[in-house]
Amino acid sequence: MVDGKLYDAGTYKATPVPMSLGVETVYEGMRTGISQGLFTVTDARKVGGSWFAEGRWVAGGSEPRKIIPTVTKPVDDDAPPILRRPGSEKPKASEPKASDSKPADSKPADAGPVDAKSAQKSSPEKPGDAAKVPAKDSASGSNDKAASAMAQAQAPPSKLDRPLLRRSKPGDAPQKFEDKDFSAETPVKERILAVSDAAGPEARPYRMDLKPDEILAYNKKIMEIASGVVAKLYPAGARQTTPVPHGEKSAPRILRFINPQMQVLDLTNSNDPVIVFTAMVDPSEKIAATAGKLTVTVIARVDIYGELRKLLAEATDDHHMDIYPRLEFLDAIDADGDANGELVFREGSDGGQGFVVYRAGMDRVWPVFDSLRNY
């Protein structure tokens, strides 16, 4: 999404790889607003006209806890830094000399006459030499420090500062994309929608928890709406077969569905339920015998009286996919970062496969993005 408008991830800034599949791009997998893990892109290829990415998937809670090492505080923070050669150990504290601890010898009380020549021979060093020795030691120490600093600056970088080249092992290189089979017949085990947003709103669950009697009531009402949608597409097949009393309007009977899925969502965090229903008509029905695979999709909002207000209701079969695409509900996700959930469907038509994102309003749904219609 750029400036409030969603673009097709397969074509946006594809020079040559789309921006959404750049290496080291991190996605957060979501299911009904709850984080499932992180996916980091490591490679991307275009196979069969579609872009695919490979990466590292880290499920939520599976990453081991990081242990932060404790840093010992130095004893003296005000001490100047000491430069040492690599591999050298810290010098131990020098012990005080015995001569430093002893007081200066006082002049002997009984001093006899001493010969000058013998006194000069007996003294190990001249009187001025004792003062020159410490000065020589301090000068040599400063020179050693300067030489150590210069040698460390001119030394080549260590092995840790540069990359290491090694021969790859048989199991290191991942399988190439050209060698993999991305055929449409391969069944998808699990689909997880992912979002890459560095500063998005805090994730929250969209699924609403209802009582069992509320679920049964909503399920009955939504199936009546779905049967009515099929009756408009095939009026003769969905006609009421049981006799109706005189003066009453005949209502379409409730059809038998296969794999009906109903989800009740709170998209705006206002306790305002939005129901999404998808199902396939049972092939034993007279309608499905001539239509082939007949599917129906209904989106409805519950009003303050507990009635369902139809926002979208479409039915299609193998012969009407050019007019009504077949919709498969994937999940609810915050597609534009406004803390409200949108409905994501996978759509199939005569023009191919794509995705559509709907925003549920009060009376209808608004298409936010449609890859097949390019808006």
155-176 pLDDT, tens digit per residue, is 555 555 555 565 555 555 554 5
Count structural domains, the chain: 2
For residue 159, which amino acid is it?
K
As given in the structure block, the two tokens for residue 220 are: 């009955």
Residue 228 domain-assigned (yes or no) = yes
227 and 329 fall within a common domain: yes
Torsion angle, alpha carbons of 157, 163, 168, 171, to 10: 130
Mean pLDDT: which of 11-25, 77-91, 100-114, 252-266 is highest?
252-266
**Are 226 and 364 spatial neighbours (Cβ–Cβ below 8 Å)?**
no
Q: Give the model confidence (pLDDT) of 307-332 as tens digits.
A: 999 999 999 888 888 888 899 999 99
| Cα–Cα distance for residue pair 115/133, rounded to 1 Å | 28
Annotate 104-148 with DSSP letters as a single string: PPPPPSS-----HHHHHHHSSS-TTHHHHHHHHHHHHHHHHHHHH
Q: Average pLDDT for residues 1-6, to the nearest whole number?
A: 65
Phi and psi for 206 in degrees, rounded to 5?
-100, -15
Whether the predicted pLDDT of 81 surpasses 50? yes
Same domain, yes or no, for 324 and 228? yes
Q: Are residues 216 and 355 in the same domain?
A: yes
236 and 308 co-located in one domain? yes
**Domain assignment present for 28:** yes
Position 82 confidence tier, pLDDT thresholds 50, 70, 90 = confident
* Integer Cα distance of 320 and 270 in angstroms: 37
Task: Calculate mean pLDDT across residues 41-58.
Answer: 85
CB 360 within 8 A of CB 275: no
pLDDT per position as a tens digit, 194-250: 888 877 778 889 999 899 999 999 999 999 999 999 888 777 655 555 555 555 555
Residues 346-369 pLDDT 10s: 998 887 888 999 999 999 999 998
Residue 366 falls inside a structural domain: yes
d(CA 97, CA 80): 24
Residues 180 and 232 in one domain: no
Same domain (yes/no): 235, 182: no
Same domain for 179 and 221: no
Supply the range of the domain harboring residue 188. 1-61+174-199
pLDDT at 190: 80
Per-residue pLDDT band for 136 (boundaries 50, 70, 90) equals: very low
pLDDT at 99 > cutoff 60: no
Top pLDDT among 80 and 308 is at 308
Domain for residue 86, yes or no?
no
Determine, yes or no, domain membership for 44.
yes
Question: Which has the higher per-residue pLDDT, 289 or 101?
Answer: 289
Same domain, 187 and 258: no
Q: How far is CA 304 from CA 211, 271, 272, in A?
A: 17, 11, 9
Q: Indicate whether 156 belongs to any domain.
A: no
Give which of 222, 233, 370, 372 is closest to 310, Cα–Cα. Answer: 222
Q: Are residues 178 and 236 in the same domain?
A: no
Taking alpha carbons only, the member of 96, 86, 35 closest to residue 62 is 35
Q: Provide, rounded to the nearest whole percent, the portion of the chain with pLDDT above 90.
A: 28
188 and 314 both lie in a single domain: no
**Do residues 226 and 313 both lie within one domain?**
yes
Mean pLDDT taken over the chain? 75
Enter the pTM of the model: 0.63
Does the structure show a pLDDT above 50 at 128? no
| Domain identity same for 226 and 333 | yes
